[in-house]
Structure 1
Amino acid sequence: MTNMLPQFLFTIILFFLSIQDFRQYFINSLLLIPFWLYSFAMNQNTPWFNLGCYLGLLLLNQLNKEKWIGHGDLDVLACGSLLLSATHWIYWLNGACFIQLLLQATYYRTRRAPFVPALTLSWLVFTI
């Protein structure tokens, strides 16, 4: 029950980030900082592990020149991992990938599709 407020606030932030990603292919990741702070305040071990994984993925993504996924998408995925169990996080990611494939096949045939809207739709399906 205590996790419902952060998830609700994350949902609202996801809507704003989806609109921004849809329009600009860019998101303001600073809006996600409160979720990291909340996680560090509530847990003692998990956020450090998540932060290490997140920084490692950012480094790999930078070395790969953001070929497959943007840094902002990784920011959203990392914050979602702080609010969900590992199982629910995998469901959320798989749902987002499925939605993204549908969008790419139907609407974004010749251009790249923003991923945060797919993450948002999947978040609504798997957390509500």
Structure 2
Amino acid sequence: MTSEREQLLDTLRAVQEALDIPCPATPSDLDAYREVLEGRALHTILALWHILACPADAARHTAYLRARLAECPPTGYAPYEADEHAARAVTPAAPGSSADCEAAPHTPGREAEPHTATAKGR
């Protein structure tokens, strides 16, 4: 039997798998990229809606999400690949450890924003 925490992490991994797809290499690939991402986002939203409506069925809906993602892989466009920004292999830290955040991949050129609201309403 899977614990609630393990199920939550599995669901979050499935959501990440759905939405974290390679960016398009050129502007001409943007339409195909958006189409793929929109389809994957729709399946994700539906799965999350069902999970929130009935948390006891989270494992079933997470499996459903993964099955739908397998039907719409991130293909049909050229993905952006840059040698100087190649993804680093990251070995995940033990769940719940302070190294979890440090092991998360970093998007080059994009600095983290503070998690506090500002006067601009963020």
TM-score (norm 1): 0.31
Greater relative contact order (CA < 8 Å, ≥ 6 in sequence):
1
| Structure whose residues are more often helix by fraction | 1
Report which of the two structures shows the higher radius of gyration computed on alpha carbons: 2
TM-score (norm 2): 0.32
